[in-house]
Structure 1
């Protein structure tokens, strides 16, 4: 199904806006439903064309002390950027389809969980195997801090060539070009900063692919047969070469190509595969082979312990891989006996303490278990939530704190105001709104201290990184004094309020596992079908 401009914009707004790492209440589908009416009214507002804002940002734990920064752009700026991509999709699509080495498919997903399809890593693995069969070696690397380092001006460079842009950047032809419009809208959504694109929205995945294909075009004249011997997925690239071709040459050519776009190769992730490479053990295969029986409680406990200890071992030897996240997701398919529910929960808590990026998986498991009437170790869960808030609130880790608060909400665990002073000082709409939701449900003994967050309860707050709190707390009348007029009177947010747009659905919970697995299966079938004949769906 090919989508028209309005349908493309709808998909970006409802399924490509908010990062999937956010807790479930954060949604944007109502925003997409009234897109046409909003645009009609916004066009009459004098501040719409050049509205400028700062996105909200938070970080997600990766490995060791490394973290990944996620952005929540202001809806006005995201709408404008998404509109440019939706309107210029034919040009973008044809440019993206020109690459012969990328595994990205320029198709907007009409009904999936996200607005664009995710990569098929099985296809990436197949291409890597083919290249290793054809060549003695494979040079594997990626771009250092790819999204945060992308120069917004490099988007038109990639589309039209750096020389042409520099020669024509003052002309009307360039000012009317899609590349310049994308550059402009990106910068307006990050207070005119030209370095970096936001991680989280699907629009950034599309824009990063434009830059990466521009990089490919720089490589092609310098490396013969590039299409045959290379594969790229996002910023990871593999290039095959033989004995007669030096790896130093491959490295130098790549460094020159990325430097053309003011980027750098990640030296720490550069390695050689093939004849001189060291093969690593495939942990996914080993963990997938672990069966967990449900014949007797004792036999199942032994199987569960073996599986989880093996996962912990592989996590320690593959630090940069998401071993524990994979293992916890895999364990959700086990038919755990009721007698083993506490044992299973204890291991899930243990793995989550070791890798807090798995908080969403743990939350889904615990909330669903409680709703099904299964016994869960309440004391240990309470301590786990308390530990998260005590350790991560003072250092502003909004991801960990927001998910801990959401878990407390899902399990109806009462929190205490006197122990949450650091939570109330976090500059995070995610944490603030969940706290206000908890308070509205009577789950914070003593109530919320909103004195810090009230600094954003005004018109200026609507263009600040705390725009989400500023808008939603007013819409839901969650400010203690009931203030909301500053939103109602705003020329851009006022129409959103009038049309019932919301970004926080307090009734939305984690999905049921069975429903989630069914949806995932349908999506895999759809993706496989579409990818087999992907050109027909562009």
Structure 2
């Protein structure tokens, strides 16, 4: 979980902690000995996009702090798995990823919810549709222990090292990843997805015990509920009980998304069903349709029209995934579609990642792209999004420039390193170290590199590649010195290019970047050298 599950999946694939396992060898016993030391650390914030134009913050936790959380989950995996299996409603049960997957834990996509929900609600004449408001940011870390051991027991025994209440320790370890804050858990790292599912699955059981007789069938995907009921009255009763249970854990119903529906109403938007059908046709699943350039352009234009009509970037993401499925980057028709991609990134920021992945795939295949057009478009957009502090757009666009070896002038580098965000600045450092940025950026890091603040990634990257020779300070300094001295790799630009150079590998991963989800509401356990990741 530490190797593939630390960075949010919404970051470009160059951000990787696979090398941490190697780099930590030799100090794991020392690290574990400090597990209960009060060493709260900050995390790197990541201002991301959502399909509807709103924003969501993700976080990249300090690797040593996160090690403890991942280690706890690994050691207690049976408890987690039993809770997940026991849930009467969950269709988001995590499963272990395969070695070929990009994430260590896989949660079924939201688009699978409607199919599973339809099966589970059965003959229900009425459906209560609701979700938990601001789920991850609202989780009270003490409720981790409440959920595992019961609220009354957990409130009586709050000792971090309690032998009777082992999840008190997890509460403490989670808080250490976020400057000791008790309100909310980070969005992005896989361990925190498991923690949130653990709490939600526990509430499922409590709800079933309380009002299960009223429920015909139900499905929950992370924080989204579809509850099948006999009557509208039963829906109100169940909603009231769910609201009460959530409040006990300091969580709340999202009233703006709560509806009582007829059992005949479609659970999935009709536009999404129709567009996915057309995507399958374009893939050649329907013998009546071939993927001529006119068909492709028509499909893109329909997706753009749907996006404008329903005020969501989701149709455009479906279209870009379809371009990956038909492997447009290998075809001559690319030159016709490429200008659409260049225009899309101006108006659909939530789609910048998919567009970048498609372009980089074509470059990895040694195919021609409109270098001049992409350079001009990306330079303009980087400066625009830097002004708004939009990390997602800036990081992905910078990654595109670096992978394609497009021109990055000094003035653009100066603007990038002026950003306070460590994801952006560390990627600049990696670009220079990799020979993709001509001159060394004028980035002063000081005579002592903090190991526990929000710049941990920048400082560790700078030391590991020789950009800075300063020593580390702070409570994690010993661990960070060890990692830097072993030249830990946290950003590897070339690795993705090497992987997607293979013709059989898709541009867009099937296990990250929100693949095949309607929207974005929502993660190998081994023991080599005693490290469980």
Q: Tell me the TM-score normalised to structure 1 length.
A: 0.84
Does residue 356 (structure 1) correspond to residue 349 (structure 2)? The answer is yes
Question: In structure 2, which of residues 181, 200, 203 is the aligned counterpart of residue 215 of structure 1?
Answer: 203
| CA distances 1:304-326 after superposition (whole Å, capped 9, x unpaired) | 22100111122233435622112
- From the superposition, tell whether residues 385 and 270 of structure 1 become closer, same or farther in structure 2 (CA, over 3 Å): same
Question: In structure 1, which of residues 377, 390, 393 is the aligned counterpart of residue 383 of structure 2?
Answer: 390
Residue 127 of structure 1: how far off its partner (Å)? 3.1
Q: Which moved more, 1:70-79 or 1:108-117?
A: 108-117
2:60 alignment partner in structure 1: 72
* Contact 1:143/1:264 (<8 A) preserved: yes
- From the superposition, tell whether residues 122 and 371 of structure 1 become closer, same or farther in structure 2 (CA, over 3 Å): closer
* Contact 2:303/2:315 (<8 A) preserved: yes
* Contact 1:101/1:227 (<8 A) preserved: no
Residue 250 of structure 1: how far off its partner (Å)? 3.0
Residue 123 of structure 1: how far off its partner (Å)? 5.3
| CA distances 1:49-92 after superposition (whole Å, capped 9, x unpaired) | 33220111112111344112111000110011111111122222
Paired with 2:177 and 2:76, the residues of 1 have a C-alpha distance of 19
1:531 alignment partner in structure 2: none
Does residue 204 (structure 1) correspond to residue 209 (structure 2)? The answer is no
Does residue 322 (structure 1) correspond to residue 322 (structure 2)? The answer is no
1:27 alignment partner in structure 2: 16
Paired with 1:310 and 1:57, the residues of 2 have a C-alpha distance of 35
1:458 alignment partner in structure 2: 448
Q: Where in structure 2 are the equivalents of 1:118-197 lying within 5 Å?
A: 118-119=107-108, 124-131=113-120, 133-169=122-158, 174=162, 177-197=165-185
Paired with 2:391 and 2:97, the residues of 1 have a C-alpha distance of 30
2:250 alignment partner in structure 1: 262
- From the superposition, tell whether residues 202 and 242 of structure 1 become closer, same or farther in structure 2 (CA, over 3 Å): same
Paired with 1:514 and 1:341, the residues of 2 have a C-alpha distance of 16
SS at match of 1:59: strand
2:323 alignment partner in structure 1: 331
Residue 383 of structure 1: how far off its partner (Å)? 1.9
| CA distances 1:237-287 after superposition (whole Å, capped 9, x unpaired) | 111112362543333222111111111111222223325857742424334
Q: Aligned-residue CA RMSD in angstroms? A: 3.2
* Contact 1:103/1:120 (<8 A) preserved: no
SS at match of 1:205: helix
SS at match of 2:58: strand
Does residue 399 (structure 1) correspond to residue 388 (structure 2)? The answer is no
* Contact 1:338/1:374 (<8 A) preserved: no
* Contact 1:72/1:200 (<8 A) preserved: yes
Residue 292 of structure 1: how far off its partner (Å)? 4.7
5+ long unaligned stretches in structure 2: 285-289, 513-533
Does residue 53 (structure 1) correspond to residue 41 (structure 2)? The answer is yes
Question: In structure 2, which of residues 470, 479, 490 is the aligned counterpart of residue 503 of structure 1?
Answer: 490
Does residue 414 (structure 1) correspond to residue 414 (structure 2)? The answer is no
Does residue 309 (structure 1) correspond to residue 301 (structure 2)? The answer is yes
* Contact 2:44/2:421 (<8 A) preserved: yes
2:81 alignment partner in structure 1: 93
Residue 117 of structure 1: how far off its partner (Å)? 2.1
5+ long unaligned stretches in structure 1: 1-11, 524-538
1:9 alignment partner in structure 2: none
Residue 227 of structure 1: how far off its partner (Å)? 6.9
- From the superposition, tell whether residues 375 and 34 of structure 1 become closer, same or farther in structure 2 (CA, over 3 Å): closer
SS at match of 2:175: helix
* Contact 1:429/1:466 (<8 A) preserved: yes
| CA distances 1:479-538 after superposition (whole Å, capped 9, x unpaired) | 3xx435769x93221222344432122432344274434997899xxxxxxxxxxxxxxx
1:8 alignment partner in structure 2: none
1:530 alignment partner in structure 2: none
* Contact 1:396/1:427 (<8 A) preserved: no
Paired with 2:36 and 2:473, the residues of 1 have a C-alpha distance of 17
Paired with 1:129 and 1:470, the residues of 2 have a C-alpha distance of 49
